[in-house]
Amino acid sequence: MSSPPDTSLPEKPHMNPYWAGFGLGLVLLTSFVVMGRGLGASGAFTTAVATAVHAVAPDHATGNAFYAEYLGDGTVNPLKDWLVFEVLGVFVGGFLSGALGNRLRFSIEKGPRISNPARLILAGVGGALMGVGAKLALGCTSGQALSGGALLNLGSWVFMLCVFGGAYAFAWFLRRQWL
Amino acid sequence: MNAPFFKYDLFGDEISLVVAFAIGIGFGFFLERAGFGRARMLAAQFYFRDLRVLKVMFTAIITAMVGLFLLSRLGLVDLSLVYLTPTFLVPQAVGGLILGVGFVIGGYCPGTSCVSAATGRIDGMVYLAGMIGGLVGFAEIYPRVEHLVKATPMGQVTLAEQFNLPYGLLVFAVVLMALGAFLAAEWAEKVVGRKTPDPDSLLAPARPLAPVRRFAIVLVSLGLVAAFAGNPYRGAFARVDTKQLALDAGNKADHVSAVQLADWIVEGRNDFLLIDVRDAAEFAAYHIPGARHVPLAELTSDFVARNERIVVCSEGGIHAAQAWYLLRSLGFPAVYLLFGGLEEWKDTVLYPQAPPATAAPRDQVEFARRAAVATFFGGSPQTTGGAAPAATPALPKLAPPTPAAAPAGAPAGKPKKKKEGC
């Protein structure tokens, strides 16, 4: 995104959700067959955070069981990790698709009834909650719901129902942000 | 075909990172295509305006689930080698609720926020910053909540195992459930969201046999096949590549010496599983620290995760060799045997013989190291300096060696990096 995106072209419509889901399912199936594992997202950020903390305060990082788990035994650079490279690919893939669809815009996603600062504060708060929730659940919507769902993993299905449950239960309070 | 390819060592760690990047591109591409880079489109799910989240997610889940089932049933993929995140029931339920609330507040989940940020959405970037803050916060309180995070462990368990239902039948049930949810979603979009139906949809397509309807028919048919197809796991009647087995046995690549195994244990390596196949009394009398007792008869296709590196040991080595053959036939890819069994372990690890005083300095140094290892395991080095060596010494007590006693120079075992999972 070095040059400002060309916003003069109209955005192309998004893909039919069923066919986008089919494409996503084939990517997931490929991951199962080639790697023997599913997709993920939050784990890569945890590795990145652990590496950054380790660089600033090495003793603090190795003394914390949570960071230590993501730092490994020190023989391999923790960033040489499957999920880290996968998430780098997600950024690239998202950018490519956005570019092809003329959807690259510096903008803020929100409903008409909320101000920009308020929306950004809520985005940050939501992100923070997500960080905590994903670590508590051993995964996020990618690793648990999507990948574990396709493997009929018991914990993943419990997780998935709770995600939808939590979101629907809270949706009413956030309606001004979106509608 | 032996898949998952990575688990069969068709390529190494370096290549796997290239694969990760390529798979990530596909993942990000379809997330953006689906409209998941935009918070408002995602949040519409929770107000019944546009239920894309449900449609995309469940189409992806049933596509991958049906595909994986059929490939496994045809014997092309070993399903037991596909990593299953262990279940911790209560933390996952609570984490799911927090994540759901975070979803409707922030408008994204971790994966979709990457796509959002990559397409220039500022709220997506702020969301990512917030998530990093949340992760740091969680890490700081982790020591105090670790017991809660690890509560109600249930191991790696599928719905099929938990409810004792045939795997294929569940696959079919999930396909039907998803289709039911899609129909309900399209109905809700029309009634609550007042959305004009997509020309390519299930409920009100432009023509009766719209592509999406055909796709649904294919999925239901494959699901029906799955319901009657039987067990997707590779069974006890495995096909054995006798040539490969003979080759592996012949070139001794499957041997682990007692000295090597002792070093692994001292180093704290935890990437292998030591299986002792002797009878219970022998095991109770003495076993190598960390060994797990599994009698020959209990070595079934599912006694342990298929991708574990397994070292088998017995008294002399004959039973271990038989166990090696059995496990290899059952499809375990990485099985090793303790060469010479426990007899060799006693002779070379617990009670190593000192070299004669005239031996080269290098041998003396090696012996000093071996003596330290022997002490670590509760044995004692045997010196030939005096009269005839004492009669076979009694085996040491089974006190697990403490890391503090590790011989100098050996790195202390550190927790191994979590390899998989999200």
Give me the residues paired with residue A153 across strands.
Answer: B158
* Structural domain B242-348, CATH architecture: 3-Layer(aba) Sandwich (3.40)
The per-residue pLDDT for B175 is 97
Nearest residue of chain B to residue A151 (CA atoms) = B65
pLDDT score of A75 more than 60: yes
Mean pLDDT of A21-27: 97
- For residue B377, name the pLDDT band (cuts at 50, 70, 90): confident
Q: Which residues pair with B77 in a beta bridge?
A: B3
Percent of chain A that is helix, strand, coil (3-state, to 5): 70, 0, 30
Quick one: closest CA in A to B182, which residue? A18
Q: Can you give the pLDDT at residue B389?
A: 45
Residue B168, pLDDT above cutoff 90? yes
Smallest CA–CA distance, residue B67 to chain A, in Å, is 7
Question: Residue B329's pLDDT is what?
Answer: 76
Determine the length of chain B.
422
Provide, as residue numbers in chain B, all residues whose Cβ is less than 8 Å from the Cβ of A147. Answer: 85, 422
Residues 83-142 of A with CB under 8 A from B: 83-98, 101, 103-111, 119-120, 122-142
User: To 10 degrees, the CA torsion angle through B123, B127, B130, B134?
Assistant: 160
pLDDT bracket for residue B149 (50, 70, 90): confident
Nearest CA in chain A to B129: A124
Query: Helices marked H in B304-350 — which ranges?
Result: 318-329, 341-345
Q: Which of B57, B110, B118 comes nearest A91 by C-beta?
A: B118
Please indicate whether, in this complex, the C-beta atoms of A154 and B52 are within 8 angstroms of each other: no
Identify which has the larger pLDDT, B326 or B102: B102
Contact yes or no for B125/B117 (Cβ under 8 A): yes
Confidence of residue A62 (pLDDT cuts 50, 70, 90): confident
Check residue A83 and give its pLDDT. Answer: 93
The amino acid at A179: L
On the CB side of B132, CA atoms within 13 Å amount to: 16
Which region among A12-26, B49-63, B94-108, B362-376 has the lowest average model confidence (pLDDT)?
B362-376
Q: B109 catalytic, yes or no?
A: no
Q: Which residues of B touch A81 (CB under 8 A)?
A: 417
Q: In the numeric block, which tokens belong to residue B66? A: 């049906």
What's the CA dihedral at B403, B405, B408, B413 to 10 degrees?
A: -10
pLDDT at residue number B307: 64
Q: Quick check: A153 and B103 CB within 8 A?
A: no
Q: Tell me the three-class secondary structure of B75-92, residue by residue.
A: CCECHHHCCCCCEEHHHH
- Mean predicted lDDT score pLDDT of chain B: 84
> Residue B185: which pLDDT band, with cuts at 50, 70 and 90?
very high
Going by their DSSP bridges, the two strands B153-155 and B335-338 should be labelled as unpaired
d(CA B85, CA A138): 8
A150 touches chain B (CB under 8 A): yes
Are residues A149 and B57, on separate chains, in Cβ contact within 8 Å? Answer: yes
DSSP state of A67: H
Residue B421's pLDDT is 53
pTM of the predicted protein model? 0.74
Least Cα separation, residue A8 to chain B (angstroms): 15
- Cβ distance A42 to A84 under 8 Å? no
* Mean pLDDT, residues A104-116: 90
Q: How does strand B255-256 pair with strand B335-338? A: parallel
What's the ipTM? 0.94
With bands split at pLDDT 50, 70 and 90, how would you rate the model's confidence at A8?
low
B363 Cα distance to chain centroid: 41
Any A CB within 8 A of B85 CB: yes
Cβ under 8 Å to B: A residues 23-82: 23-43, 45-46, 48-50, 53, 64-74, 76, 78, 80-82
* Coil, strand or helix at B272: strand
Residue A161 at interface with chain B, using a CB cutoff of 8 Å: yes
Averaged pLDDT, B111-119: 95
* Chain B environment of A120 (Cβ under 8 Å): 122-123, 126
| Residue A153: alpha-carbon gap to chain centroid | 20
Terminal Cα-to-Cα distance of chain B (whole angstroms): 27
In B229-288, the residues whose Cβ lies within 8 Å of chain A are none
The full length of chain A comes to: 179
> Which range has the worst mean pLDDT, B146-160, B323-337, B387-401?
B387-401
Query: Which pLDDT belongs to residue B290?
Result: 85
Question: What was the pLDDT predicted at B398?
Answer: 53
Report d(CA A24, CA B406) in Å as an integer. Answer: 49
Torsion of the alpha carbons at A120, A47, B30 and B102, rounded to the nearest 10: -40
pLDDT category of residue B348 using cuts at 50, 70 and 90: confident
Percent of chain B with pLDDT over 90: 36
> Which of B51-55, B106-110, B191-195, B298-302 is predicted least confidently?
B298-302
Least confident segment among A73-82, B303-312, B357-366: B303-312
Q: Over range B29-48, report the average pLDDT.
A: 93
Chain B positions in Cβ-Cβ contact with residue A156 (cut-off 8 Å): 85, 92
Mean pLDDT of A84-89: 95
Are residues A90 and B27, on separate chains, in Cβ contact within 8 Å?
A: yes
